[in-house]
Amino acid sequence: MAGRGTLHNLDHRFSGPRIEVVDDGWQQDADWAPEFMKSAPQTQVREIQARSIISHNQSPDVPFSRSINPYQGCEHGCIYCYARPSHAYLELSPGLDFETQLFAKLNAADLLRQAFAKPGYQPQTIVIGANTDPYQPIEQHYRLTRALLEVMLAHKHPVGIITKSAMVLRDLDLLQALASQGLCRVMVSVTPWMRHSGENWNPELARGKAVWR
């Protein structure tokens, strides 16, 4: 399906009885397919007011304990994304819903200011985008990630960013200002496309011992 990462909209983990459409090979036309598979669904964004904005984790496998996700769902639609099952908590599918039914937390920056102002707040690095990409396409319009960085800079608060989008360069002014004070780290996820034939292919690449020539 052009523009989408998956063809399916499977039931989420909390749903009850489910029905799955399967092509058994007897039908030779596309009439058997459900409507959502016949055309790519459009992205829908729901603007919400979040109750809180900083998430906490105690996992020994995660090198940070605080994170912010200004968006729920992600239009990048990476089929391998570990965040897909989180849409189940919204009664939505980890399939197409995850990449087409998005939520924008309009009050993200205000909530962050309130959190910083609470008595006894102890600064620790907050990672933006630990679950969904803070620079997915709708950030171009909502600018929630930029607003969060502005709050971080105003409070001289350490921040990390995880993204796969070149849109992060839009906020280079804020990132440089934070980095000059040792307060910022940006981590970029790169998904390579590997060919299995051709003059550039090295069989050792699959074993992590070679790079593209």
Residue 207 DSSP symbol: G
**pLDDT tens-digit readout, 112-135:** 999 999 999 999 999 999 899 999
As beta bridge partners, residue 55 has 67
The answer to whether 149 and 169 have CB atoms below 8 angstroms apart is: no
- How much is the pLDDT for 152? 98
Is pLDDT at 11 greater than 60 in this prediction? Answer: yes
- 57 pLDDT band (50/70/90 cuts)? confident
Neighbours of 126 (CB within 10 A): 23
**pLDDT tens-digit readout, 139-190:** 999 999 999 999 999 999 999 999 999 999 999 999 999 999 999 999 998 8
Neighbours of 142 (CB within 10 A): 19
The DSSP H or E segment spanning 94 is: none
The answer to whether 13 and 88 have CB atoms below 8 angstroms apart is: yes
Least confident of 5-9, 48-52, 126-130: 5-9
